[in-house]
Amino acid sequence: MKFIPAIDLKDNNCVRLIQGKEENLTVFNKNPVEQAKFFENNGCERIHIVDLDGAFGRPEINKKTIVDIRKNTNIRIELGGGLKKINDISFWINQGIDFLIIGSLAVKDKDLALHISKKYKNKIYVSLDILGGSVMVKGWLEKSKTSLENIFKIYNNSSVKGFILTDVSRDGTLNGLNIPLIKTVVSKTNKNIIVGGGLSNYSDLEIIKNYSIDNSNLEGIIAGKSFYSGNIEIRKALNLLKSKNKKI
């Protein structure tokens, strides 16, 4: 079970939004490269980078910053935000990004998404951004007409590495994980699942760790505001998740 800290990029700053809304923005670090180095130096296996400007249709703004993070760290990187074309995917694979996350593309052009996942086997995650039971696209601004069930029918037998599940209503709120939603998604696929949205404290980590012991496809938990607000300290979180014992 991986502890995966997040770097959300907007205007080349490390920021956090609440429920994905641009107007609810807090800048936490103006040097994302140093932030990535911090995560690597403190023992994290992977970081979760979201290009928020890319998700909102401005893909060039943070490109150099992401390249600089890659050049200055050896940590594994999963990257999402506005990846809509095969050229986008190829560019980042060639830059050395380990995993890429597709959302709108996976919903709106399944044939291209399946082609990409086959070309880059076990490099692609499909983003499941859920709000009120709907799958959200276009930077969480638009409800899609595609159901979760349909997404699993399309991708469960594909070459995607897994799914990244976010409860949009809880993202950046510190209101706790949506455990019923997580259990529902984990039960519907054998693919790896990484979860985010609402992580608040060590109790949440204990709950998700306990659940992962009996569900090996639960790969990791994304920490954003819970880390930046000081609720969770990285080394303590890593030690908690490494423990194989259930805490009742």
Q: pLDDT for 136-162, tens place per residue?
A: 888 777 888 899 999 999 999 999 999
Span 230-241, pLDDT tens digits: 999 999 999 999
For residues 114 and 137, give the distance between their C-alpha atoms in angstroms, rounded to a whole number: 18
Best CA proximity match to 154, nearest among 118, 197, 100: 118
For residues 21 and 3, give the distance between their C-alpha atoms in angstroms, rounded to a whole number: 24
Domain-embedded: residue 178: yes
Domain-embedded: residue 248: no
| Helix/strand/coil percentages in the chain, nearest 5 | 40, 30, 35
122-148 mean pLDDT:
89
9-33 mean pLDDT:
86
Span 166-214, pLDDT tens digits: 999 998 889 999 999 999 999 999 999 999 999 999 999 999 999 999 9
For residues 210 and 218, give the distance between their C-alpha atoms in angstroms, rounded to a whole number: 11
Domain-embedded: residue 247: no
On the question of pLDDT at 165 being above 80, the answer is yes
Give the DSSP H or E segment for 209: helix 202-213
pLDDT band at 20 (very low <50, low <70, confident <90, very high): low
Domain-embedded: residue 66: yes
Domain-embedded: residue 137: yes
pLDDT for the residue numbered 25? 83
Span 112-121, pLDDT tens digits: 999 999 999 9
pLDDT band at 222 (very low <50, low <70, confident <90, very high): very high
Domain-embedded: residue 31: yes
Percent of the chain at pLDDT exceeding 90? 83
CATH number, position 43: 3.20.20.70
pLDDT band at 247 (very low <50, low <70, confident <90, very high): low
- Show the domain range for 219: 2-242
The domain tally of the chain equals 1
Domain-embedded: residue 38: yes
Domain-embedded: residue 193: yes
**Catalytic residue list:** 8, 129
Cα 209–chain centre separation: 17
104-124 mean pLDDT:
96
On the question of pLDDT at 27 being above 60, the answer is yes
